[in-house]
Amino acid sequence: MIWWDDAARNGLKEVYLYDEQQAAARLLEYDNVRFFDFQNEEEIVTEIISKDYETVAKYFGKNELRDITKEDVWKNAADIREKLGDRAFLRAMHFFDENDRVDREAAALKAGDHTSTSTTVISATAMTT
């Protein structure tokens, strides 16, 4: 979502969508290719992500990921990946990484450090592309 916001603010959303259409058209020329894109289906995207968050939280007997720590997830990484799958594990780690990034950005803004803030935003954009 941060990536889409950044793309819209920088006038790149239409460019991205055009590139995606062109790539899809070329790929769909082949009989063995199917193309699925749910990025504009908010209900589908948010439900999948929310379920992954909830599944990992329930693993620890909690309702929300914010009730556990990144260290808890790392300590149980192999078991989580085996029982819940790689996607759930990676989404949980992304949740914690994004929260850490926001904390760093907030601290930089409070300190008037706009260079760190820019680097943090660029880093988040690179992670989502």
Mean pLDDT per 10-residue interval, the chain, length 129 residues: 58 71 84 76 72 93 93 97 94 87 77 63 48
The pTM of this model reads 0.57
Phi, psi (rounded to 5 degrees) for 24: -60, -45
Task: Tell how far CA 18 is from the center of its chain.
Answer: 22
Half-sphere exposure at residue 46, Cβ-oriented, CA atoms within 13 angstroms: 5
What local confidence, expressed as pLDDT, does residue 10 receive? 67
The one-letter code for the residue type at 88 is: A
Helices (H), the chain: 2-9, 13-27, 42-59, 70-75, 77-84, 86-110, 114-128
Reported as a single tens digit per residue, the pLDDT across 65-82 is: 989 999 999 999 999 999
